[in-house]
Structure 1
Amino acid sequence: MSSIRRPRLAALGAVLAAGSLALSTAPAVAITGGTPVAGSDTTHAYTAQITIGAHDRGCSAVLVDAEWLLTAASCFAENPAASLAVPAGAPAKPTTAVIGLSGTQGAERRVVEIVPRTDRDVVLARLSRPVTNVTPAQLATAAPAAGAELTFAGYGRTKTVWAPLELHTGTYTLDSTAATSAGVTGQNGAAACMGDTGGPVVSGGKLVGLNSQSFQGGCLGTDETQTSTAGVIARVDDLASWIKAKAGGTRIVDFNGDAIEDIAVGDPMATVGAETTAGLVRVVHGGGKGNAEITQDLDWVPGGAEAGDHFGNHLATVDYNEDGYTDLVVSASEENVGNGVDAGFVDILFGGKNGLGSGPAARHFEQGSGNGSIGASTPETGDRMGAALDAGTTAEGKPWILIGAPGEALGSLAKAGAAFYVHGDTNVSINQDTADVPGAAEANDAFGTSVTGDANFIAIGAPGDAIGGDANAGNLAVLSHRLNADGRPSVVAGMDQDNEKINAGAEAGDKFGQALSMVAYRPSGAATATDSILAIGAPGEALAAETGAAQQAGAGNVILVHLKADGAWDYLHALNQGSATDDRSGTIEAGDYTGSSLSAVNTAPREVGSAATLKIAVGTPGEDLAGVTDAGAIHTFSLMGSAGANDLWIEAGDGDGIPGSPGAGNKLGTSIHFTPRNLYAGMPYGPAATGALHVLPFPNAVPGGTSMPATTYQPGKGGLPANGDYFGYSAR
């Protein structure tokens, strides 16, 4: 840039204003010669103050999305004078951001993920929770012309104060523009100081860049002979599409925080030591970073491996402690607790820099221990706590876990069932004796057999519930995350097939609610994903292949329901196999048990939902193929489009990625997990004696996609230990 002579560029690079505060005990410190911003002035409220480590460094940043900041890579680089390279993933040191700081007030969040650019001094920093009371900055669409006046802001040191707790602004003149940066000179003695790095640079109210480098003339701690206010800003006016793609993407499972997807696979029947069916979980770290085996015999996992525990039979993932590392929720639903045989329990195993077990100590949930409703309950024979699991975050970003205990007795009502909603440091029980929960608690209702949830709602299935005298017809309850006066999620609705909206007719053995899956989506006209689609499996449903034909017992059916933001709901349509008079794949047959498992996904949660972005995988484990029984299949559909025009049939050997050929008793479709990247298809019953997990790239699992190579994980291959029994029974 024209105002800086070539011999001085090295000095400029040496003071990449990463804002080191090694000599300070205060947080990040502001613009020399600039103007303090009054607490009532919210013009630059999107500016954030960042503290890295135990005040090791302080920087500034700018909110560009409710969950994301833009700031300088040099804030996080190990030695910014030598290299701006920053690894993607969880920050190396705990990092705090305060957005909209006014005096001592502001929205405090933890930075949990770094997404670096490789071409400039810029990173995106994901926040632990959205910021809803500050309007993000809007990006410019082009760089301003030379000579333009730019406003810059930050929380760095001033001429006289090392750590002021107020935002300062100043004015630059734009000297020259390069592809990814621009040269600037501060007006009226204003210069960016240490701690201002990453702060916004604005032209005409739009964000054009970030403070990157400065001679720091006049800043506290700078040699008095250094008077230059020249500097360099990192351009961001061309990054809108990059920011949108990153902000609108879905989270991956990342136990070690390296921004590469990991996989956890349950084998609940595996032998551990001499204990048969004790169960274990195997973790495959992405990027070729090795595998890990988790059993209850590890000193950081609660309990001890015992025969019949079935550890790993259900899995869920969530960053429960909001530190940027994915945590694994794992159940041992047949664990004996005290005198309760198969009482069951659940653990949260926390991720960390070296994967699961390297984070905080595990959190353990068993009835009769701890606080809340779980602590107040009694472990009893057959409770099977953890027989269903789900986890996620609310629209506010608050983590939650939902635990099913379908064998829970309520008074004298054996196997009436219950669920536990875990949030923060407490938990509450939900059952059909809870106020406002639809239905009445009865023996064998098995409430909690299935659980699901998203950012808006949760749902709990009771497939054993009798409806109008029809045993095992099934029903379910839908609740929101909004807590009522009792501290429980608020009831939204109850559903069964006798409801006039569904108009299907509850019948004995339908098992409506045996499987559930829910996904949030953005309806047309809404700004965010306020609504949800709930898929309800009724694998026992009898259907006729053709009008007037005989009913096929256990053909199976899936009902789709639209849950609106206000809790109202509408029936959408049913998903099932085809007939001679429609365009759906497959054939309705007795014993297919379509809907035994479900997994819904939204590939673009920020966008208005469409047939292309809202998908579901439906398990049909009883499907007979090629003359063999219970070979199984997976059927994918759109959640919004017409069934037949948007479905794909997947069976072994058809080219989609499941190898071999259909085999008797393999029951493909028993274990499925759909993500925007892959369809995980577990085959714990064979043909491999150990079980296997097949990972089909997303295009393989939807119509019109270009087939890509699939990956198979199997004990004894790819570095996995050879022992396994039901490997692939669960996967996340």
Structure 2
Amino acid sequence: MRRETLRRAVAASALAAIILTPLGVPAALAVVGPVETAEADFAVRLAIGTDEATNRACSGALVAPEWVLTAASCFADDPAAGHTIAAGAPPAATTATIGRGDLTTSEGQERGVVTLVPHESRDLVLARLAGPVTTVAPVAIGTSVPAAGEQLAVPGYGRTATEWSPLQRHTATLTAGTAVGGDLPLTGVGEAAVCAGDTGAPVLSGTGSGTELVAVATRSWQGGCFGADPAETRTDAVASRVDDVRSWVDATTTTAHIVDFNCDGVRDVAIADPDATVAGRARAGLVRVIYGGGAGTTEITQESPGVEGGPEAGDQFGFSLATYDKDLDGCTDLAVGTPGEDLTDTAGAAVADAGWVSVINGHRDGVAVHTGGTTYVQGRGDGLLGTAGREAGDQTGYAIAAGHTEDGTPFLVIGAPGEDLAGLADGGVVYYVQGDRPSTGFNQNTTNFGSDVEAGDRYGSVLAADSHLIAVGAPDEAVGSSAKSGLVHLVTHTIGSDGYPVYRSGLQQGLERIPDPAEAGDEFGRALDLVEYRPAGAAGPTDSILAVGVPGESQTNVSTGVDRPAAGRVAVFHVPASGSWTQISDIGQTDAAVPGDAEANDRMGAAVALTNTDPDAVGTAGTVHLAIGIPGETRNGVTRSGLIQVFSPLGTLAASAFELVPGTGGIPGTAVAEEQLGRSLAATSTHLYVGVPDGPSPYGVAHAVPWANVTGGSAGPVTTYQPGVGGLPAAGVAFGSAIR
């Protein structure tokens, strides 16, 4: 580690010496000053690039657990020519080291930089880290410009008066001049100076707990710095102010991760049609990607680069979708489940519907443009997946979930509900891949998992996950003598000493804290979603909100008093960081606060989608929203046209209720019989995605609805994705079946 740090620092300093002389030219900087103490552990060293000839080093400041503020010119192709850079993934691999005053130690934490958000006019950029920093407190952003004459501290890692590539952080004291627009002039006190090696060093006002970040160093004369012209004695420097762009910092650092396959900083979307005919093969399946910002579309099949296999009848490529940054390069990677994939076993015998999952790498050129994807399949690789046998009907990839743990480690969860266990058909198993660890997994017979495998459970047929938990649905599970009553398991991302993820808790109806009894056909857990949540008094989003769809639940019609089978309902739970979960909402159309009335086969809860529009803030009825699909709803005489209801599970149901159908919320058109609106839902922090694979288009359609449209905010435009429009081919069968 020490050798690599030295090499990067030397290369960066050599580059800086070439491009830096006049004050007016952006340059790599460092500071002449004493060795720094732990008071500035929020100072960051950035190692940019791996090429010996072009790599460089910069400094920055941790301003939020996942964000570093530094100079945009650090990432410019030619810093001497200006600081304009593109948003999105950094142009070269970048590693941030935080909380390590002495680079020869292993103190602090290292994180990759995955996304850049440059300021529109200043030499400033916010760099998003691959995971949050949990051991160092971020520095506060200043609220006012320093007064002329105020002494400021500038910690950095670059050259000193006597060292070309120091291994310890140093701090210089400089005096503020009178700010001119966004520039803050600085002058070194005594022999202190800002030198080549660390563009982006934080400029600090105050001391101790009152320290504030007021500017970021960008240019300097380098008087007295090692390697500088001995005739140069000026210690003046210029920094970019940050006190007056605090709103930009706050707005950026509270944004959620977006799906960005081509790394341009604009939201993309993937929409599956698993029943599409490909190369003449029915139900082979495909996924269509629509790039944000008008950057075009692409179609992914099993003939695409980076995707193993070829299209075969019944594969259903795209039956399930998930997104995450598997390789932490800043480009979103797409996981695609193909549960109908036919394979061969170790003896070469055909195995129908064994299934697999393809992870297709994102890239600046787009997704599925280059080779190098990963296929997760039984009997290949290390860990549990590698030792698993392939059997007909395993349906690996029937359900998948992906994301990043609390420390930013990528994970992928794979359900194989058709797996036979201990001679019990379709008992079901879940495989789990976290970072570079060997694959592992679990089933109901795993030690301490609190239930037993039974034939037909199909454990793992429904999955959801956030950074804290994995939720596993087994809606076909029999509870007592009640067939298909259903259960849900909550599992943590912690790998136990036995090599398996640690079980947290189980939920099923009839428990003391879930008053509704377990009944045959309830299908508790047929739909699941999880979202991170910050309760009052917590420092961050430590908890989770879980929504559980129970579409087979019988309900009593309020108007007639007659029992309506499969009317459905949704149960919502608060799962704290520790301790027991609690049910916070029970939503059904028998409740006077819920619009409509329970009807047979409405199947309320067949799909659910949760969002938290501001997860870093304390959760409220205005930030946590739940969309519930009721695809069997017959509305105004239009048979099974479907309905979506939106509520806040943290607020009053009646006050937050909204009914979304064509003609409301910005969705175009009118209700169509058998289109089953609400069958396919997905959520981001900004939009509710509604898939309508059964109509009104003959190929299916999908809509992106701003949450504001259905939660009482200022309505925004709805984006409709339809084959035959906007560059999408006019073909398909069930476009919109899955969306990410």
Instruction: Classify the TM-score, shorter chain.
Output: over 0.9
Amino acid at match of 1:322: L
Q: Distance in 1 between matches of 2:42 and 2:714?
A: 42
- In the TM superposition, what whole-angstrom CA distance separates every residue of 1:281-325 from its partner, at most 9, and x where no partner exists? 111111111111111012421111111100011101111211111
CA RMSD across the alignment? 1.7
Gaps in structure 2 of 5+ consecutive residues: 1-19, 345-349
1:618 maps to what in 2? 628
* Equivalent pair of 1:17/1:193 in contact (CA under 8 Å): no
Q: How far did 1:31 drift?
A: 2.1
Gaps in structure 1 of 5+ consecutive residues: 1-9, 20-29
1:715 maps to what in 2? 723
Q: Distance in 2 between matches of 1:360 and 1:136?
A: 39
- In the TM superposition, what whole-angstrom CA distance separates every residue of 1:609-632 from its partner, at most 9, and x where no partner exists? 111111111111111123232111
Q: How far did 1:411 drift?
A: 2.3
Match status 1:31 vs 2:56: no
Match status 1:636 vs 2:646: yes
Amino acid at match of 2:160: T
Match status 1:348 vs 2:359: yes
Compute the TM-score of the two structures, normalised by the length of structure 2: 0.93
Q: Distance in 1 between matches of 2:573 and 2:352?
A: 37
Greater alpha carbon shift after TM alignment, 274-283 vs 170-179: 170-179
Greater alpha carbon shift after TM alignment, 559-568 vs 280-289: 559-568
Match status 1:651 vs 2:657: no
2:616 maps to what in 1? 606
Q: Distance in 1 between matches of 2:156 and 2:332?
A: 32
2:10 maps to what in 1? none
Match status 1:91 vs 2:102: no
Q: How far did 1:14 drift?
A: 4.6
Q: Distance in 1 between matches of 2:247 and 2:446?
A: 48
Q: Distance in 2 between matches of 1:59 and 1:636?
A: 47
Q: How far did 1:572 drift?
A: 1.4
Q: Distance in 1 between matches of 2:452 and 2:525?
A: 16
Amino acid at match of 1:31: V
Q: Distance in 2 between matches of 1:501 and 1:114?
A: 45
Q: How far did 1:357 drift?
A: 3.0
- In the TM superposition, what whole-angstrom CA distance separates every residue of 1:144-169 from its partner, at most 9, and x where no partner exists? 21111111121111233221111111
1:706 maps to what in 2? 714
How do residues 542-621 of structure 1 correspond to structure 2 at under 5 angstroms?
Answer: 542-546=554-558, 549-577=561-589, 582-621=592-631
1:290 maps to what in 2? 296
* Equivalent pair of 1:14/1:81 in contact (CA under 8 Å): no
1:336 to 342, 353, 356: 342
Match status 1:670 vs 2:672: no
Q: Distance in 2 between matches of 1:697 and 1:223?
A: 58
* Equivalent pair of 1:119/1:180 in contact (CA under 8 Å): no
Q: Name the SS of the counterpart of 1:305 in structure 2.
A: coil
Q: Distance in 1 between matches of 2:560 and 2:480?
A: 25
Q: Distance in 1 between matches of 2:718 and 2:354?
A: 38
Q: Name the SS of the counterpart of 1:234 in structure 2.
A: strand
* Equivalent pair of 2:175/2:187 in contact (CA under 8 Å): yes
* Equivalent pair of 2:304/2:369 in contact (CA under 8 Å): no
2:531 to 478, 494, 519: 519
2:146 maps to what in 1? 144
Amino acid at match of 1:630: R
Aligned length: 705
Q: Name the SS of the counterpart of 1:655 in structure 2.
A: coil
Q: How far did 1:693 drift?
A: 1.0
Q: Distance in 1 between matches of 2:612 and 2:191?
A: 51
What is the identity percentage for the equivalent residue pairs of Structure 1 and Structure 2? Answer: 44
Q: Distance in 2 between matches of 1:547 and 1:431?
A: 43
Q: Name the SS of the counterpart of 1:177 in structure 2.
A: coil
- In the TM superposition, what whole-angstrom CA distance separates every residue of 1:557-587 from its partner, at most 9, and x where no partner exists? 10111111114111212112256xx232222
2:552 maps to what in 1? 540
Match status 1:374 vs 2:380: no
Q: Name the SS of the counterpart of 2:140 in structure 1.
A: coil
- In the TM superposition, what whole-angstrom CA distance separates every residue of 1:617-666 from its partner, at most 9, and x where no partner exists? 111111112323211111111121122221111112x3323322222211
1:325 maps to what in 2? 331
Q: Distance in 2 between matches of 1:511 and 1:196?
A: 59
2:162 to 147, 160, 163: 160
Match status 1:483 vs 2:495: yes
Q: Distance in 1 between matches of 2:35 and 2:661?
A: 66
Q: Distance in 1 between matches of 2:600 and 2:139?
A: 58
* Equivalent pair of 2:483/2:520 in contact (CA under 8 Å): yes
Change (3 A) 1:721 1:13: farther
2:115 maps to what in 1? 113
1:397 to 408, 411, 417: 408
How do residues 270-285 of structure 1 correspond to structure 2 at under 5 angstroms?
Answer: 270-285=276-291
Q: Distance in 1 between matches of 2:150 and 2:291?
A: 49
* Equivalent pair of 2:400/2:413 in contact (CA under 8 Å): yes
Q: Distance in 1 between matches of 2:435 and 2:482?
A: 39
Q: Distance in 2 between matches of 1:108 and 1:656?
A: 44
Q: Name the SS of the counterpart of 2:249 in structure 1.
A: helix
Amino acid at match of 2:726: G
Q: Distance in 1 between matches of 2:407 and 2:649?
A: 25
Match status 1:250 vs 2:246: no
2:452 maps to what in 1? 440
Q: Name the SS of the counterpart of 2:419 in structure 1.
A: coil
Amino acid at match of 1:487: G
Q: Distance in 1 between matches of 2:31 and 2:90?
A: 26
Amino acid at match of 2:132: P
Greater alpha carbon shift after TM alignment, 704-713 vs 247-256: 704-713
Match status 1:406 vs 2:417: yes
1:25 maps to what in 2? none
Q: How far did 1:593 drift?
A: 0.2
Q: How far did 1:63 drift?
A: 1.2
* Equivalent pair of 2:441/2:501 in contact (CA under 8 Å): no
* Equivalent pair of 1:626/1:662 in contact (CA under 8 Å): no
Q: Distance in 2 between matches of 1:537 and 1:525?
A: 29
Q: Distance in 2 between matches of 1:74 and 1:353?
A: 21
Match status 1:268 vs 2:274: yes
* Equivalent pair of 1:657/1:694 in contact (CA under 8 Å): no
2:40 to 44, 50, 66: 44
Q: Distance in 2 between matches of 1:591 and 1:701?
A: 25
Q: Distance in 2 between matches of 1:503 and 1:465?
A: 19
Q: Distance in 1 between matches of 2:407 and 2:83?
A: 33
2:8 maps to what in 1? none
- In the TM superposition, what whole-angstrom CA distance separates every residue of 1:226-263 from its partner, at most 9, and x where no partner exists? 21111111111233332222111111110011100001
- In the TM superposition, what whole-angstrom CA distance separates every residue of 1:412-433 from its partner, at most 9, and x where no partner exists? 1111111112112322121111
2:135 maps to what in 1? 133
Greater alpha carbon shift after TM alignment, 550-559 vs 393-402: 393-402
Q: How far did 1:13 drift?
A: 4.6
Greater alpha carbon shift after TM alignment, 604-613 vs 69-78: 69-78
* Equivalent pair of 2:473/2:526 in contact (CA under 8 Å): yes
Q: How far did 1:438 drift?
A: 2.3
Q: How far did 1:506 drift?
A: 0.5
* Equivalent pair of 1:110/1:127 in contact (CA under 8 Å): yes
Match status 1:104 vs 2:104: yes
Change (3 A) 1:435 1:276: same
Q: Distance in 2 between matches of 1:600 and 1:168?
A: 47
Q: How far did 1:358 drift?
A: 4.9
Q: Name the SS of the counterpart of 1:81 in structure 2.
A: helix
Q: Distance in 2 between matches of 1:667 and 1:548?
A: 25
Q: Name the SS of the counterpart of 2:251 in structure 1.
A: helix
Q: Distance in 2 between matches of 1:462 and 1:713?
A: 32
How do residues 487-502 of structure 1 correspond to structure 2 at under 5 angstroms?
Answer: 487-502=499-514
* Equivalent pair of 1:143/1:208 in contact (CA under 8 Å): yes
1:237 maps to what in 2? 243
Q: How far did 1:135 drift?
A: 2.0
Q: How far did 1:359 drift?
A: 6.5
- In the TM superposition, what whole-angstrom CA distance separates every residue of 1:163-215 from its partner, at most 9, and x where no partner exists? 11111111111121123121111121221111231111112122211111101
Q: Distance in 1 between matches of 2:189 and 2:398?
A: 66
